[in-house]
Structure 1
């Protein structure tokens, strides 16, 4: 198996997701951990291996670095994409590309000028259940697709400082569902209608954001897609998909540590709680996404989950935010 030497850019939460996955993959080798704060890079390198560096030019000039994994704060993505593309390094970038379409267009211009392989980390495409549901739809199991539905509810609201820098609920979270449903349907909406409310944490509302939303996407074929999001859920990380067509329906189910049915004096047919959060529920998807990147780069084909996919998902998410604020249906700015 061909091996890629990677530079892991960033040492925050998502870098700590990708570090172990890189080490677990037989075709990936962690060469460098980069952070402008060298102490943070050194700590991550102690955990996952590789050399700690704080100079990006040195990282990108290293011939042992075959590709980069950008797992830094969102507002740094475009700058790092531009520099890595100029250096000729294939790029895997955590989502979203940016919170601004103008800056996303800047990144795409850099990728056009320096056409290196690029993959955006829409990891939920690579969850086995989600991929199987898409295959069922594409293979005609439900007949003509009429409706798609996604339930995505988080166990508890994030810290308020996170909310302030998130770009809003639609851009931060709903964007995952948007990309997933468009990928399953094979089309993108001509119109969106969204509504939001704040019922769990008043501080989120004070920031002009929502902690629960409902979104409808109207597709060119006439199919409708519905997204139900909540930043709090008493019973865990609720993640379900449903595809309904004129010949049937397919659904995914929530994940638990086990599927045993428990019977005792207090309960019957009781199940374990749901997986706590995305780190547990989608653990395998991050490995699978890196595997897709490895296969694409080493075989010379284009990776899936492209920059253009990222721009479209952001445009739709921004249209949802506009709809929720205005109360009107909005046509997204999709190229």
Structure 2
């Protein structure tokens, strides 16, 4: 197996997700951890290995760096994509590409001018259960797809500082469901209708954002897609999918710490709470996404979850936001 030396860009929460996954992969080697604040990079190196560097030009010129993993804040993604593409380095970038379509187009122009392998980290595609549901749909196990539904509810609202920089709930959260469900359905919507409300955190409402949304996408085939999002959920991280067709239905169920079903004189079914958050629920998916990137780069093929997928998901998310704010159906080209 060919080994790729990686530069991990950033040292925040997502970098600490990818650091252990890189070390666990037999075909990946953490060569460099980059952060303009060298002390932060050194702390990450103590945990995961590699060399701490604060000079971006030197990182991208380093012959030991075969590819980069961008796990920095969203508003820096485009700058790092441009720099890495100009240096000829394959790129794995955490999603979303950006919150602005204009800036996404800037990144795509850099990738067009420097056609390096590029993969966007839509990790939920690589969850084994989600992948199995897609295969069942694509193999015709439920006949023609009529309806596709997802429930994606978080345990508690994030800090208000995060909300202010998130781009809004549709761009921050619903975008993951949009990409996943369009990928499962094999098509993108011709129109969207969304509603939003704020029922859990008044600070979020004061920012003009939502903490609870319902979204409907109408596909060219006539299939309807429903997305149910909430920033608060008393029983944990609620993540389910259902695909309904004229020949049957398939579902994914929540992951629990304990799947034991109990029967006694006090209860007939009781289980432990759901896995707490996405870092636990989707732990395997991050490794599988990096594995896809490794295979694509080393076999010279286009990675799945492309920049075009990222742009489409952002455009649909922004249309959902427009629909929720205006109360209108929004048609898409």
Cα drift, residue 264 of structure 1? 4.4
Tell me the equivalent position of 1:238. 238
Cα drift, residue 249 of structure 1? 0.3
Cα deviations by residue, 1:11-53 (Å, 9 ceiling, x for unpaired): 0000000000000000000000000000000000111000000
Secondary structure of the structure 2 residue equivalent to 1:199: coil
**Structure 2 residue 57 is matched with structure 1 residue 52:** no
Tell me the equivalent position of 2:27. 27
Tell me the equivalent position of 1:87. 87
Tell me the equivalent position of 2:324. 324
Cα deviations by residue, 1:281-315 (Å, 9 ceiling, x for unpaired): 00000000000000000000000000000000000
Cα drift, residue 272 of structure 1? 1.4
**Structure 2 residue 192 is matched with structure 1 residue 201:** no
Give the unaligned 5+ runs of structure 1: none
For residues 117 and 44 of structure 2, what CA distance do their matches in structure 1 show?
Answer: 26
Cα drift, residue 257 of structure 1? 1.3
**Structure 2 residue 143 is matched with structure 1 residue 133:** no
**Structure 2 residue 299 is matched with structure 1 residue 302:** no
Give the unaligned 5+ runs of structure 2: none
Secondary structure of the structure 1 residue equivalent to 2:166: coil
If the length of structure 2 is used for normalisation, what is the TM-score? 0.99
Secondary structure of the structure 1 residue equivalent to 2:84: helix
If the length of structure 1 is used for normalisation, what is the TM-score? 0.99
Tell me the equivalent position of 2:142. 142
For residues 207 and 312 of structure 2, what CA distance do their matches in structure 1 show?
Answer: 26
> Runs in 1 of length 4+ with deviation above 6 angstroms?
none
Question: What's the RMSD between the two structures over aligned residues?
Answer: 0.7
| Count of residues in correspondence between the two structures | 333
Secondary structure of the structure 2 residue equivalent to 1:184: helix
For residues 55 and 160 of structure 2, what CA distance do their matches in structure 1 show?
Answer: 32
For residues 265 and 228 of structure 1, what CA distance do their matches in structure 2 show?
Answer: 36
Tell me the equivalent position of 1:287. 287
Cα drift, residue 141 of structure 1? 0.4
Tell me the equivalent position of 1:40. 40
